[in-house]
Amino acid sequence: MRAKPAILLVDDEIRSLEALERTLEDDFTLFTAQGGAEALAILESEFIQVVVSDQRMPDMSGVEFLKQVRERCPQVIRIILSGYTDNADIIAAVNDAGIYQYLLKPWRPESLLLTVQGAVELFRLQQENELLNIELKASEPWLKVKVDSKREQMRERSAMDNIVRAPDSSMSKICALLARVSPFDISVLIEGESGVGKELLARALHYASHRRDRPFVVENCAAMPEQLLESELFGHKRGAFTGAYQDRIGLFQQADGGTIFLDEIGETSPAFQAKLLRVLQEGEIRPVGSPRPLKVNVRVVSATNKLLPELVRAGQFREDLYYRLSAFTVSVPPLRERPQDIPLIAQALLDEARHHYQRPAARFGEDTLQALQDYRWPGNVRQLRNEINRMLVLSDDDLLGAELLSAEVLQAAAEEQVAELAFLTGLPGDLKTRMDELEKQILRETLTRQRWNKTRAAAELGLSRVGLRNKLTRYGLEK
């Protein structure tokens, strides 16, 4: 059973002490004293949490007594009772004795009980706060090690060398260029279609720079209206607009010393562009509703899926801002222009999905990887990720065959194989070699189109299931 909180009651009048005891005895462990000297002796020997003292006592006043309590046991919560409303007493009680509450006599039992309960809760919170401070001081080295370890993990995971690509990929040249420019504090503009990995490159650029130990902050400029975007990036003062109930620190301020990545910069309005230009020129922001600017030290990396020079010519994007943002520009090719990357990226995405969906043994069939390479991926890596997640959710076993692909991807794979059939008719070689290759491709195209349903494929080709299986084994197409 938990011990009751200990309360010390101090009053020179016996009846007053008895009245206090009757009110508080059910909820607290009570100690009583008829003067300040006796009460101080009790404080030396008992763990007291709250002192309730009368003001007018013969040996010393309540204020004088509680002043000594404050000096000797500052953690004890102090309450004073008085039948007088002398302003000097009240001021002295607050300033000298640091009291929690000044109660006037005659006090009401329920009011006194609530006041003492509040004082006990305050004592508890004080104790918890002290313990937390002690724990925080004790764990400071451990926390620093943990933060440094997580930062190092993020740095390794976001390293330029860890961007998935084939050895002969055009992405290798882009990564080399970004690594070359990373030590220099110039603005970088990353161009490319949606989903090609612009944020991934921006993050790698940040962690390759001298700002790596400072924040990397991301904002999609197309995701919110102009006023909210300005508040999000620059911050605002309380009352600056409807709904601004408190001050807000903007992302530029949060990124101070680090990097801010502004995605879809081509979607911003001319008014916002003028304010962003000031940040780049002067190195300072002005929170919405603030009369004073704030200095910030931030590297700006921006990205767009539009051609900004065309927007400049059309009057939709400020020319001066464009030149500020594009001190160094890289263009990221879409996935269809680097098909050699698709199997590696697909495998990396599958590794992520296997962990997320708890399917550690899931793997691609060879026909699946070929179909993925045959598709043009207008949504780039983002669309590829969705396709792989879809396959993993739909699969009943660990082998992810081509039959699990969406109709759009399968149709593109079938069309690619038809084109390959037309190409094979012009290949050199004897008749048997060319006919075998043609037959292999016809089998593959039919199975892909039929989602690897062998019964339907055999019926279309005029074969039995056994005959189809034998041909698949002969040409190495059996899953």
User: For position 413, what pLDDT does the model report?
Assistant: 65
User: For position 428, what pLDDT does the model report?
Assistant: 60
Of 25-29, 95-99, 164-168, 471-475, the one with minimum mean pLDDT is: 95-99
Give per-residue pLDDT as tens, 255-277: 999 999 999 999 999 999 999 99
For all residues of the chain together, what is the average pLDDT? 87
CATH says 427-475 is which class?
A: mainly alpha
User: For position 342, what pLDDT does the model report?
Assistant: 95
User: For position 379, what pLDDT does the model report?
Assistant: 92
User: For position 106, what pLDDT does the model report?
Assistant: 86
Helix (H, G, I), strand (E, B) or coil at 109: helix
- Domain boundary assignment for the chain: 6-125, 199-325, 336-417, 427-475
CATH says 336-417 is which class?
A: mainly alpha
Per-residue pLDDT averaged across 214-221, rounded? Answer: 93
Per-residue pLDDT averaged across 283-305, rounded? Answer: 92
Name the H helices within 247-379: 251-254, 270-282, 308-313, 319-325, 342-357, 366-374
Q: Which of 61, 62, 60 is nearest to 52 (CA)?
A: 62
User: For position 354, what pLDDT does the model report?
Assistant: 92
Tokens of 430: 């004897």
CATH fold match for the domains 199-325 and 427-475: no
> What whole-number percentage of the chain has pLDDT above 90?
51
Q: Which of 447, 381, 380, 391 is nearest to 414 (CA)?
A: 447
Give per-residue pLDDT as tens, 187-199: 999 999 999 999 9
Report whether pLDDT(421) > 60: no
- Cα gap 338→346, rounded to integer Å: 13
User: For position 87, what pLDDT does the model report?
Assistant: 62
The yes/no answer on whether domain 199-325 falls in CATH 3.40.50.300 is yes
User: For position 257, what pLDDT does the model report?
Assistant: 94
Instruction: Let me know the angle formed at the C-alpha of 81 by 80 and 86, rounded to the nearest 5 degrees.
Output: 95
CATH fold of 6-125 reads Rossmann fold (3.40.50)
- Cα gap 180→205, rounded to integer Å: 10
The confidence band for 137, taking pLDDT boundaries of 50, 70 and 90, is low
The confidence band for 417, taking pLDDT boundaries of 50, 70 and 90, is low
User: For position 415, what pLDDT does the model report?
Assistant: 66
